[in-house]
Structure formats: structure tokens, C-alpha cells
Amino acid sequence: MNEIEKCREELDLCDDQIFELLLKRNAIVEELMVYKEARQIPIFQPEQEERKNKKWQAKLEGKKHPEEIMGIMNRIIRTSKRIQARKLFSHNIVLIGFMGAGKSTISEFLSTMFAMKIVEMDQVIAEREEMSIPDIFATYGEEYFRNLETKLLIELQEEKNTIISCGGGVAMRKENVVEMKKNGKVVLLTAQPETILERVKDSDERPLLNGNKNIEFIRELIGKRREKYEEAADVILHTDNKTIMAICEELIEKLTE
């Protein structure tokens, strides 16, 4: 056997081992999920990820191709998360609720937990129109914006295993709620007006709140919307005085009950 053939054979052996190990690893991930569920252990344990990352970084010191190897390891971790997400949620997760309830924040965190895709409705609309949301309101009026929301929600029914972070007013239209439920479970995030005010007070990105950043206005608007939010929701989560992590754990628990 010449040198090239010998190298090829060794590479083949390596690839076969990697392949077999990946199969084994995925089976362990599934086993671990069952174990965690039975013992109510949190699904996402960032400290475990952190620990592994540190260990690998240390092992790579002085070695060749550290970035490429970390890239592959991160891809493997990402794949495990996708497997967990698909096992837990066959549907989309649609987050609704008042401005500042935490839809974008929770979406971001869930997406890190499960490597799920996010669609941030406000952001998609702003990008498509090449204008900020306050500018769309000011230029074309609220009705125009609401129609864009409905159109986008209809398109989003093509998505699978995706987190949809709705604008605060999306659940007000009955037709929108029908669309959300076709392919998704609807999660309502709530917070007291005091908490909302605290969370939104430094931003001017919410045209309905500009000039209205006070408890009375927020309480009144939440009051007007509450019934529609609650009617739309499959799951309701109160977010006051809870960490993002605690809210996400509760969300998973309720969605998988």
C-alpha cells in the first residue's frame, strides 16, 4: 500500500468513528431528555455548556486549527438543541402580550436554548418597509401597519419549529389569532403596569407609548386589551419579578404538559 492509500484508509477510519460517535451522542441526548423530564431537572443548563467550552478551549492551547474545531463542536451542540426542540415542540411558539412584557427577550433566550429560528415581527416589517415602526405609523398610519402584521402572519404559517415574537398589538385582530393557532401554540406574557413602565421608560421605539409613559395610560390600555390577549392564549405566564431563565423553564413546562 502506498502512502496516499494509507492516509486515505486512516481518514476513512476516523470518519467512521466520528459518524458512529455522533449516532451514539444523539441517542444519549434523547435518553437525557427523558431522564430530565422524569426528574424535573431544567432542560437548559448553561453552566454545563460553559464547563465544556472551557475544557475544550484549554485542550486546544498550542494545537492547530482551534477555530475550525470549536466551530464543529459548537455545531454538534447546536444540533443537540435542535433535536431537543423538535422533540418538545412540533409546532411554532407564538409569543404575544403588551409592549415590554418581554416577548423579544424571551424569544432570544429560547432561541439560544433550543437553536430555534426567531421571527421578530416588528423587525421584519421595519426591514421590509425600510422604515422604523414609529416612522411607519407617522407616514402611513396605524391601519397600514396592522395590515402588514396580518399579511406577515399569514406568510409565517409556512414556518416550522420557529419562535414568533409578535408586536404588542397583533393579538387584537381575530383573524390574526386564527392564523397563529394554525401552526403554533400561543403564549401570553403579562406584567403589571408598574413593571411595564420600568421596562419601557427609556425607549422611544413604541409609538403608542411616546408621550404616554405613565402608569395610568399603560393600565388603561392593558385593561382594554386583556380580554383579547387571554382569549388568544394557550398558556399564560406572569413575568413580574421573575428571571428570564425562570420564565423560559415555566414556558417549557406548561407547553409540554
Ligand X SMILES: Nc1ncnc2c1ncn2[C@@H]1O[C@H](COP(=O)(O)OP(=O)(O)OP(=O)(O)O)[C@@H](O)[C@H]1O
Ligand Y SMILES: O=C(O)C1=C[C@@H](O)[C@@H](O)[C@H](O)C1
Output the known binding site for Mg(2+).
104
100 interface partner picked from ligand X, Mg ion, ligand Y, none, CB below 5 to 8 A per type? ligand X
User: What order do you get walking across the sheet with 162-165 strand by strand?
Assistant: 117-120, 162-165, 92-97, 184-190, 235-238
By rule CB under 6 A, what string of x and - marks binding of each residue 197-216 to ligand Y? ---------xxx--------
Locate all alpha helices (DSSP H) within 40-65, ordered by sequence.
46-59
Q: Grid coordinates standing for 237?
A: 405566564
By rule CB under 6 A, what string of x and - marks binding of each residue 105-144 to ligand Y? -----------------x----------x-----------
- Give the residue from 238, 186, 236, 248 showing the smallest Cα distance to 42: 248
Least separation in angstroms between CB 139 and ligand Y: 14
| Residue ranges at the known binding site for substrate | 122, 146, 168, 225
133 interface partner picked from ligand X, ligand Y, Mg ion, none, CB below 5 to 8 A per type? ligand Y
For ligand Y, the binding residues in 157-176 under the rule CB under 6 A are: 167-169
Size of the site for ligand Y (CB under 6 A): 9
Q: Is 158 exposed, middle or buried (0-12, 13-18, 19+ CB in 10 A)?
A: exposed
By rule CB under 6 A, what string of x and - marks binding of each residue 79-108 to ligand Y? --------------------x---------
Least separation in angstroms between CB 119 and ligand Y: 13
Least separation in angstroms between CB 69 and Mg ion: 36
Nearer to ligand X, 103 or 185 (CB): 103
C-alpha 194: how far from its chain's center?
25
The torsion region of residue 17 among left (phi > 0), alpha (psi -120 to 50) and beta comes to alpha
Nearer to ligand Y, 89 or 109 (CB): 109
181 interface partner picked from Mg ion, ligand Y, ligand X, none, CB below 5 to 8 A per type? none
The torsion region of residue 219 among left (phi > 0), alpha (psi -120 to 50) and beta comes to alpha
101 interface partner picked from ligand X, Mg ion, ligand Y, none, CB below 5 to 8 A per type? ligand X
C-alpha 218: how far from its chain's center?
26
Strand (E) or helix (H) holding 94? strand 92-97
- CA distance readout (Å), 183 to 10, 43, 111, 136, 257: 47, 24, 18, 28, 18
Binding region for ligand X (CB under 6 A): 97, 99-105, 122, 167-168, 199, 206, 239, 242, 244, 247
Residue ranges binding ligand Y (CB under 6 A) = 99, 122, 133, 167-169, 206-208
